[in-house]
Amino acid sequence: MKSFEIPEFYRSGFIGEIKKLRKLTDPKKNDTLPTLLDFGPVRFIIARHFGFCFGVENAIEISYQAIEENPDKRIFLLSQMIHNPVVNDDLYDRGIRFIMDPHGKMFIEWSELTKDDIVIIPAFGTTLEIEQRLKDMDINVAKYNTTCPFVERVWKKSEKLGQDHHSIIIHGKHMHEETKATFSHANATSPSIIIRDLEEAKILGKVISGEYDKSVFYSSFENRYSKGFDPDKDLKKVGVVNQTTMLASETQEISDYIKGIYIQKFGEEKSKDHFADTRDTLCYATNDNQEATKGLLEHEADLAIVVGGYNSSNTSHIVHLLEQKFPTYFINTEKEIESDKGIWHFNYEAQERIFTKDYLPKKDVLTVVLTSGASCPDSQVEMVIDRILSFFDNTNSKKKVLDLILNY
C-alpha cells in the first residue's frame, strides 16, 4: 500500500512499532485479536486495527501539499477535512479557511470566492451541484480533490447500477457530508433514497411488498428521496450501497432483508433480476476496524476508551460496539481526561459532552481497552496512554513493554 507524506506530529513512534510488529506476524491481516501492553499496574488492550486509514492519509497529504505549493494564495476547505478536531484545527492555524460546517451552514459566501483561490474538496467528497458551482467560477476542483478512493468506488457502483436501471438505496446518515455526496452522484443516473437503519429498511420492505402504499413511503422518507421518485416503478429493481463509515454488519443486514423481500415477491431465481448484490461497497478500513473492535469484545477489561472526533461516524460505531460490554468513554484528545478522578466524554446518542467521576476502578492491576477511529492520529492514542500512565507509580517503560509485547 502507498506510503503517504504526512506531518510527523501525527505519527507515534511507540504505536508505530506496535503496528509494525503486528504487520510482521500477520501480513495478511487475518488475525483480529488485540495486543496487550503490560505497564504493570495498568494494562492496555489495544485493537489490531485503528487510526488513520488510506483515505485519511491521502487527504492530509494533499491538504498540506496545497499549503506548501500556494504560499501567496487564499486556501479554502469546503468543509472539515476529516472529522477530527486536531487535524482541522491545525489546518485552520496554517491559514486554511472553511467554507461551511458539516451540516452545510455557510461561513463564507460563494460570492466571496474568486478564480484565483484554492478550494480543497474534503475526504468525504462533495455533491455534483457544488462541484459544478466551483467549475462555473473557474476554480480548479481537480488539483486538490481529496475524495477518498473508497467513497468514489461507491459512486462508480451507483453509476453502474443506474445504467442497469436499478434504483439506489443508500444506507447512511442523510445529513452526513459523504451521504449527501453519494446521494447526489447516485441521483445523477438513478432514482435514489437514503435509509438510516434496519427499522427504516423494514418500512421500505413493506412498501416494496405492497403492504404499505405510497403515502407511507413519502411520509417516512421525506427529504431523503430523489425528485419524482415513484415507489410503484422505482422499487422494481434496486441495489444497496452505503456511507462507507456505517456498521458493515448493519449494511449487510439491510441488504439481506431487502433481498429477502424480493425473494418472497418473485422467487429465488427471478429475484436476481430485481436485487443487485453490492456488498463490495463496504470500506476495507471501516470493516477492519469494526472486526478488530469485535476482537476486543472477546476479552475482559475494566473500561474502554475510544479516541476520535465527536462527529466521526466510524468512531461512533466503534463506541456503540464496545458499549455492549464495557463502560466506554468516547474522548477526542487526552485533555478530556481531567484527572484519575474524572473524565469528560461524549454521549453520541444524546449528542452531549458529559463528565463522569471515579471512572477508574481502584484495583491492583487496571485493564483498559483502547482504540480510535479512522481519522484519529496515532500520536493522540499515545498521548492518552501517557495521560493514564501518569496516574500510576512504578510503571514499566515503553521499551520494556515493546520487548514483552504479547498477542492477546
Residues assigned a catalytic role: 178
Q: Is 37 left (phi over 0), alpha (psi -120 to 50) or beta?
A: beta
For 5, counting Cβ atoms within 10 Å of its Cβ (0-12 exposed, 13-18 middle, 19+ buried), the class is: exposed
CB 137 within 8 A of CB 131: no
At 174, which amino acid appears? H
Q: Give the residue among 276, 337, 278, 326 at the shortest CA–CA distance from 299.
A: 326
Distance CA 291, CA 280 (A): 16
Q: Give the residue among 309, 328, 320 at the shortest CA–CA distance from 369.
A: 328
Tell me the three cell numbers of residue 225: 428521496
CB within 8 A of 395, min separation 6: which ones?
Answer: 39, 40, 41, 42, 389
| Helices (runs of H) and strands (runs of E) counted in the chain | 14, 15
CA dihedral sign of residues 101, 6, 53, 153 = positive
Report DSSP state, residue 2.
P
